[in-house]
Amino acid sequence: MTQLASAFPSTKRYRMKTNPRGIVLLINIFDYDDEHFPKRDGSKKDMEELKELWERMGFLVQDENRGTKSDIEEAIIKWKNQERMSKVDCGIIMIMAHGSEVSPDSGSVCIHTKDKKTINSEWIVEQMNSVEAFRLHEKPKLLFLLTCR
């Protein structure tokens, strides 16, 4: 038993033994049709390094780089509904984009898409709940939003 596990013997832990351990959806919106949002050229290198990191940790990585609202929503829905999701122990979505606060104290973020639209982070959270992402029921579902604001 690891030192961390022995420190919390009665704590419920998630199983992380499948191969792959889980499926990561990496979304990078780097180019915008809106002149208010500069191109995020450096994010391409970040994507390569993140993909390598997740793969080295035993995860299957799927990426989405088209960046329109419908492309991203479609990728998230396809990610959560894929049959192999029931055969892994974890699901992860990581989004890199320009973003803005929905409102102060809301905790929600508007993700700006390539086509001058937005996706509210609350919609993504809803897609990851155990009803919507039923193949990930009782499994950890992680969401990382890396947004320039």
Q: Band of the pLDDT at 143, cuts 50, 70, 90?
A: very high
Instruction: Region of 102 please: left (phi>0), alpha (psi -120 to 50) or beta.
Output: alpha
Regarding predicted confidence, which is higher, 39 or 64? 64
pLDDT number for residue 3? 67
Q: Is the pLDDT of residue 89 over 60?
A: yes
Name the average pLDDT for the chain: 91
Q: Band of the pLDDT at 36, cuts 50, 70, 90?
A: confident
Q: Where are the alpha helices (DSSP H) in the chain?
A: 3-7, 42-56, 69-81, 121-127
Domains of the chain: 16-148 (3.40.50.1460)
Mean pLDDT computed over 102-130: 92
pLDDT number for residue 9? 64
- Which whole-number Å values give the CA distances from 59 to 8, 23, 40, in the listed order? 25, 6, 25
Enter the pTM of the model: 0.89
Helix then strand count (H, E) for the chain reads 4, 6
Instruction: Region of 67 please: left (phi>0), alpha (psi -120 to 50) or beta.
Output: left
